Structure 1
Amino acid sequence: MASTQTGRRLAGIDAARGLALLGMMATHIYPLWTQGADPEPNFTGLVLSGRSSALFAVLAGVGLALLSGGNKPHTGRFLTADRGGIAVRAALIALVGLMLGTLETNIAVILVHYAVLFWCALPFLQLRLPVLAAWAAGWLLLSPVAAYLLRGGLEAWLDPAQLGHNPNPLDFFIPATLLADLIATGFYPALQWLGYILVGLLIGRLDLRRTVVQLWLLAGGLGAAALGKAASAVIMVQLGGLAGLASTAAAQRPDFGLIYQVNLSWVSMNDSWWWLGVAGPHSGTTFDLLHTCGTSAVVIAVCLLLTSHWSKLLLPLSGAGAMTLSLYSAHVWVMSIMPDGAAAPSDNVLYWGQVIIALSVGTALSVLSVRGPLELVTSTASRLARESLRGNRQYN
């Protein structure tokens, strides 16, 4: 949802963002495991759950890097102007997220958390590549431990019934709960998810137009993804982590075996240090963050490689990816008005209908060089803020 404009858009970045959008839509519509007497995780649960939203967040960091100069980061007044523009953009995204939070939906809306991550990223925009890499590595390593230590205390101090829902305007009347939810106890806790932004910033500071950089990004992503899963397997299988979790409250659930594989945000992970060794989707551990950063880098690299010489090759995806704020918001609204029970459309009709519309609208607006409605509002406000801070209306 952050623009990727550095003279001209990188079609591969927009295409990756389009894939992230379609993946998130799938996890909102399809069940994560098969139905019946012997349920098993399906493609949506095993492949898309956790990875799609992580890709979305990593791409946010890439977009912020490109907005602030790409591989030649801005300094001085230009950097100040960038920060002001990004802060205004984030405020508008948060406003959209708060409005979506008033809808009746079972979707964990990411936009308010997304905006908070934008604000949290502002101090990191000026860092040189080696320093940024050190921050990103340290954050992936230490933030899950900090989150583990904080969550239990916060949930004991605050009313658990008020935690974990989509932020909405009424939550400003319970500021402590809202802040805790955004930072540590919510579905997209900023404490861990800032790691995705930092990795995205790191990727965005590379010269992404060079094929050799894209190939190194692909190799690094594959290595990180494999390392995250392999290291977790050593801890959980060979060192006794799974046996250590057997006595936890979550492990007593009859569906724990499924949840462990597809979405660990549905259970409390505060009663054993062994939780820090898992790599399951939405567990927010170092191994989960490392794996999903790796898969995100792979998707970005592949999209960049495919569009390096044929920028229109993935036009439907890049068109949709250039207006994800509008399309994501429309998707959440559509899901909120869908009827339940026998009157509800099938999952396939609901998903592929929205996919076709999203890709068609994105392609049409891209061909016409027209921005999505919410993108137009946020980019205009961001540009005006930058120009005001820069003191030069020619600044772009």
Structure 2
Amino acid sequence: MGGRGTGARAPLPGRRGPAAGATGTHRLVGLDMARGTALIAMMTTHILPTFQQDPTTLLWSATWVGTSLSGRAAALFAVLAGVSLTLGRVPATRNRLGLALRAGVIAVVGLTLGLVEVNVAVILVHYALLFWCALPVVGLGRRALGLLAGAWILLSPAVAFLVRPVLLGPGPSPHLAHNPSWEDLGDPGRLLADLMVTGYYPVFQWFAYLLVGLWIGRAPLTRASTQVGLLVGGAAVAVAAKTAAWSFLVPLGGINALMATDQAAIWPLRAMLEANLSGVDQVGTWWWLTTAAPHSGTPLDLLHTSGTSAAAIGAFLLVARVAPLMRTGFLTPLAGAGAMTLTLYSLHVWALSWPAVQDAGLEREPLLAVHVAAALALGLLVQANGWRGPLEALAHGATRLGLAAGRTTAGGAPRGTPPGRSG
């Protein structure tokens, strides 16, 4: 949910910005289109079912939403968050205070949304915590970021696997079982355990996505070779990760070990391995780490969703490069929506809490169509007028405040900082 308001604000198509030429504009529009797509994909997973039950056999199976979008949309948001930290006239490397304050705005919005009754796992507090965790590493070079991202993908799930049984042991449950809200600040230990390890978006493993995003953002994204490399390389990594997971589970018998766990007696585990493994306590056997199930936080899951995210970013950067005329159609409002995802995501979650929406008899497909149409219409309005979304403007103000405070502390503008707007 970085958007242009929380990173660099891209000029409108046909309008040359103060520091961006045509290729720079195409790069930012491509990233906004990726964000807009991630937003719509998340809306889809929130509104349409990811599981379905056969009325005859009572067996559960994954829907097309669960198998195609679950896990991938949220991961794309997180990877794009890392990319956004490398953009702007004054990137986060030289404005860490601004990054911290921006994350604070996102956390405030997330904690407030936690107060509404909604059957959606709100990501914003986790998103803010990812930004705070990035503060020590935003200045690393691309090679160091690549090595750290690879190590994090491989090792963080194993560490979480060892820590999780300790947290789930005797005593109060570390699961919040609800979205983080202001009330949870009264129990900071439980809140931190849920955010970092046991919750829906475990920040400890998800930090890998931010590292991957930083690594991608350090690449020369205006080059066609980079864009093709992200598309082809990301797709290859994603396919390889899923293939490896299938090899572990089927030929090597991992699925039998998982079906013998206590969790298989509680959950429809086979369906969840295809659509969403969140809520399942992955304890008791190391075979859990061999899956690539959505929201499992395993090495192969992180690798697969990092690959799909890289491929999506490469694809939209290529679209912005080779098909600029297409942006006057559907892609213009899509990019506009991607430039204000913090506002649109928050409105989407709030709207889902309305009593009329909570009515079980409400058709989900028309509801999704309304949410998507509203997001695209607002995106078009913003794109046409060069505005920021209201929450993006607030986050941007926090970023500028951090930059101004840094200048005051340093006795002037940092060396190399051009005059004018910050990123």
Could you tell me which residue of structure 1 aligns to residue 161 of structure 2? Answer: 148
Alpha-carbon distance in 1 for matches of 2:63, 2:360: 25
Could you tell me which residue of structure 2 aligns to residue 212 of structure 1? Answer: 225
Alpha-carbon distance in 2 for matches of 1:327, 1:111: 12
CA 1:171–1:363 in 2, change beyond 3 Å: closer, same or farther?
same
Local SS of the residue matching 1:266: coil
Could you tell me which residue of structure 2 aligns to residue 12 of structure 1? Answer: 30
1:381 maps to 2:395: no
Could you tell me which residue of structure 1 aligns to residue 343 of structure 2? Answer: 326
Could you tell me which residue of structure 2 aligns to residue 50 of structure 1? Answer: 71
Cα deviation per residue 1:7-34 (whole Å; 9 max; x = unaligned)?
4451010100001111111111111134
Could you tell me which residue of structure 1 aligns to residue 299 of structure 2? Answer: 286
Partner residue of 2:105 out of 58, 71, 92: 92
Could you tell me which residue of structure 1 aligns to residue 15 of structure 2? Answer: none
In the TM superposition, what are the counterparts of 1:151-166 in structure 2 within 5 Å? 151-156=164-169, 158-160=171-173, 162-166=175-179
Alpha-carbon distance in 1 for matches of 2:168, 2:51: 29
Please tell me the residue identity of whatever aligns with 2:193.
A
Q: Equivalent pairs: percent with the same residue?
A: 45
Q: Over the residues paired in the alignment, what is the CA RMSD in angstroms?
A: 1.9
Question: Which deviates more, 22-31 or 158-167?
Answer: 158-167
Could you tell me which residue of structure 1 aligns to residue 185 of structure 2? Answer: 172
CA 1:254–1:54 in 2, change beyond 3 Å: closer, same or farther?
closer
Alpha-carbon distance in 2 for matches of 1:192, 1:176: 18
Q: CA deviation at 1:321?
A: 0.4
Q: CA deviation at 1:85?
A: 0.9
Cα deviation per residue 1:136-189 (whole Å; 9 max; x = unaligned)?
000000000011111111122552275342111111111110111111111111
Local SS of the residue matching 1:208: coil
Q: CA deviation at 1:384?
A: 2.1
Could you tell me which residue of structure 1 aligns to residue 39 of structure 2? Answer: 21
Please tell me the residue identity of whatever aligns with 1:339.
A
Cα deviation per residue 1:224-263 (whole Å; 9 max; x = unaligned)?
1011111112221222211211211122246222112101
Cα deviation per residue 1:32-86 (whole Å; 9 max; x = unaligned)?
13443255322211101011111111111111122486xxxx6xxx834x21111
Alpha-carbon distance in 1 for matches of 2:216, 2:340: 21
In the TM superposition, what are the counterparts of 1:328-343 in structure 2 within 5 Å? 328-339=345-356
CA contact (8 A) 1:158 1:177 kept: no
Alpha-carbon distance in 2 for matches of 1:120, 1:354: 32
Local SS of the residue matching 1:268: coil
Q: Structure 2-normalised TM-score?
A: 0.87
Could you tell me which residue of structure 2 aligns to residue 224 of structure 1? Answer: 237
In the TM superposition, what are the counterparts of 1:1-396 in structure 2 within 5 Å? 1-2=1-2, 3=4, 4-5=7-8, 7-8=19-20, 10-37=28-55, 39-67=60-88, 79-80=93-94, 82-156=95-169, 158-160=171-173, 162-253=175-266, 255-311=268-324, 312=327, 314-339=331-356, 344-390=361-407, 391-392=412-413, 394=420, 396=422
CA contact (8 A) 2:89 2:421 kept: no
Number of equivalenced pairs = 388
Alpha-carbon distance in 2 for matches of 1:141, 1:230: 17
Alpha-carbon distance in 2 for matches of 1:340, 1:213: 43
Please tell me the residue identity of whatever aligns with 1:27.
T
Please tell me the residue identity of whatever aligns with 2:86.
A
Alpha-carbon distance in 1 for matches of 2:178, 2:139: 34
CA contact (8 A) 2:102 2:396 kept: yes
Q: Structure 1-normalised TM-score?
A: 0.93
Alpha-carbon distance in 2 for matches of 1:178, 1:301: 36
CA contact (8 A) 1:68 1:79 kept: no
Alpha-carbon distance in 2 for matches of 1:158, 1:386: 44
Alpha-carbon distance in 2 for matches of 1:147, 1:343: 37
